[in-house]
Amino acid sequence: MDDTHPLFAREGWPFLLIALLMAALMQWGLGPLWAFPFWLAVFFVLQFFRDPPRSVVGLGDGLRSVVSPADGRVVAIEECEDNYLNRRALKVSVFMNVFNVHSNRSPIDGEVRQVWRSPGKFVNAALDKASSENERCAMHLKGTDGQDVTCVQVAGLIARRILNYTEPGMKLARGQRYGFIRFGSRVDVYLPLDADVRVSLGDKVYAASTLLAEFSRVPHA
């Protein structure tokens, strides 16, 4: 999986080309006043699919750091059931609005053990029930030193497409880009109960560049 991306995400090129074509046709055929909304659409596509490079936080502390998998705002920190791995876990949820960068990045160094894709609804991703009712794609990561992390991409009110480029057996580095969600969504991260969460409700976080949590111990399993 190629993790090299320019400032504009490859997922956005079809939308950008269509928006540019429509804006140019309206400009040429009907004039700038009619074309103005289409140029606004071009601007929206450019800002939505921006994909800036990121510095990965915590690389100097061994394998303890868990980085944010997404840009956005922390909307949930709670102990709950991780139904994918049948365990109790700490869930940290990051909500992405349409103005956030929507590239998703691996929270830890590890191997993809399993990927689950679940159909569902498209309610507001900021709501708690989105984690269980919305369309989603979950990924089990086995940390290099044995930690289990479940990372779940959740569709939102406008989001209609979850892109996850991983498959079982794939190795991911902390902060490596692995997917994209189009037009507003959230990512839930399920951590071991003894993980030390480093963010608070309402915090603004950035994929790869914000320390989400730290493992309190390394199981070496």
Cβ-contact 92, 79 below 8 angstroms? no
- The continuous run of DSSP H or E covering 68 comes out as none
What is the distance between the alpha carbons of residues 209 and 45, in angstroms, rounded to a whole number? 24
Active site residues: 185
Q: Write down the residue that tokens 């791995």 correspond to.
A: 85
Structure tokens, 22: 């429509």
Alpha-carbon span 60 to 55, nearest angstrom: 12
Residues 6+ apart with CB under 8 A from 106: 69, 141, 151, 172, 173, 174, 175, 176, 178
Q: Nearest Cα to 212, choosing from 50, 89, 94, 111?
A: 94
Rounded CA separation 51/204 (Å): 17
| Cα–Cα distance for residue pair 57/161, rounded to 1 Å | 28
